């Protein structure tokens, strides 16, 4: 009887040891399975300065933007070096899922409404899936709602519309440095003169350098390709400072463009840095969770 008990105990111990060994082997195999590590926080927000960044709101989150640009510094003491003048844009951006976000906004500049979508195509990663850069598509429509300059003529609603299409190509080189190139196409249904172009092309370049865990120094430049817009307007150059404080990101900037939507600041900038045509502005970004992450996916 005692021998039977000993035999049963030996069988039980052997069974437990086999299970533990098998579990250890499974854990080792799991550890050896290649993992994909995705780049995150290439930029702090959906903007580098004025232009779009590769970033989108997370799935199920709503981002509220309050964008404000004062007047130019060369307006002098009478206008408090631009502080008496202001242009504002209010915007909402929502992450539908991990790869698609939409946005709407309204600017005081030319009483312009805008709507857009951003689609993630590629995401920078290492490991099992090696992708050296991130790529997104951005497309938007802008509507000028000013009263018609001449109400006696035949005016068409389509004349109020303009469109922007961009490819956002970015790489996070390290925790301290991220760069982005932004090929841009802007179409205007109506232009002031017959000699003006309806189709405009530009190349944007921007980046950020991390100063501390919560602050970054940003810069961007949009170069207009030769054409009527390049002949009559200035390239947009902007410098910014992002400061993260919990659920808010404050962005402070200096730029030679007063408006804050693509058609205007890329193809209709009139001021020059060297002439003091510099606008101080800021953006307040506030994020709200509308749908939990698991449900949004």
Q: How far apart are CA 292 and CA 15, in angstroms?
A: 43
Q: Residues 25, 89: contact at Cβ < 8 Å?
A: no
Res. 25: pLDDT tops 70: no
Closest CA to 290 of 46, 102, 38, 42: 102
CATH code where residue 209 lies: 2.40.160.40
Q: Are 244 and 272 within one domain?
A: yes
Least Cα distance to 114 among 147, 92, 145, 143 occurs for 143
Q: What is the average per-residue pLDDT within 284-293?
A: 87
Say if residue 15 is in the same domain as residue 106: no
pTM for the whole structure: 0.85
pLDDT at 249: 92
- Structural domain range at position 177: 35-296
Number of domains in the chain: 2
- Predicted confidence (pLDDT) per residue in 263-273, tens digit: 999 999 999 99
- The C-alpha atoms of residue 151 and residue 51 are separated, in whole angstroms, by 34
Q: Which residue has the tokens 């502005």?
A: 281
pLDDT of residue 194: 87
Give which of 49, 50, 45 is closest to 61, Cα–Cα: 45
Same domain, 146 and 85: yes
Q: What local confidence, expressed as pLDDT, does residue 248 receive? A: 87
Same domain, 88 and 74: yes
- Is the same domain home to 27 and 126? no
Q: How confident is the model at residue 12 (pLDDT cuts 50, 70, 90)?
A: very low
Strands (E), 124-246: 125-127, 134-144, 161-172, 177-188, 199-210, 215-224, 236-245
Q: Is the pLDDT of residue 24 over 60?
A: no
């Amino acid at each position: 009887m005692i021998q039977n008990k000993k035999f049963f105990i030996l069988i039980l111990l052997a069974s437990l040891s086999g299970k533990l060994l098998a579990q250890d082997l499974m854990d080792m195999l799991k550890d050896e399975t290649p993992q994909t590590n995705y780049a995150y926080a290439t930029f702090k927000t959906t903007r580098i300065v004025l232009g779009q960044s590769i970033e989108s709101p997370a799935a199920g989150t709503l981002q509220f933007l309050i964008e404000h640009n004062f007047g130019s510094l060369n307006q002098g003491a009478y206008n408090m070096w631009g502080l008496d003048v202001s242009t504002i844009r209010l915007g909402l951006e929502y992450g539908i899922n991990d790869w698609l976000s939409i946005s709407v906004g309204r600017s005081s500049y030319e009483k312009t409404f805008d709507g857009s979508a951003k689609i993630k195509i590629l995401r920078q990663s290492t490991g099992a899936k090696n992708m050296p850069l991130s790529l997104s598509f951005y497309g938007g429509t802008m509507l000028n709602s000013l009263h018609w300059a001449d109400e006696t003529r035949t005016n068409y609603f389509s004349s109020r519309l303009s469109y922007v299409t961009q490819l956002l190509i970015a790489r996070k080189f390290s925790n301290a440095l991220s760069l982005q190139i932004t090929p841009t196409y802007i179409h205007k249904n109506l232009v002031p003169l017959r000699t003006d172009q309806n189709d405009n092309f530009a190349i944007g370049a921007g980046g950020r350098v991390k100063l501390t865990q919560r602050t970054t120094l940003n810069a961007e430049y949009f170069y207009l390709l030769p054409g009527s817009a390049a002949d009559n307007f200035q390239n947009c150059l902007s410098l910014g400072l992002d400061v993260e404080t919990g659920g808010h990101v404050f962005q402070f900037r200096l730029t030679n463009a007063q408006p804050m939507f693509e058609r205007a600041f890329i193809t209709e900038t009139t001021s020059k840095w060297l002439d003091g045509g510099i606008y101080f502005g800021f953006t307040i970004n506030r994020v709200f969770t509308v749908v939990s992450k698991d449900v949004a996916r």
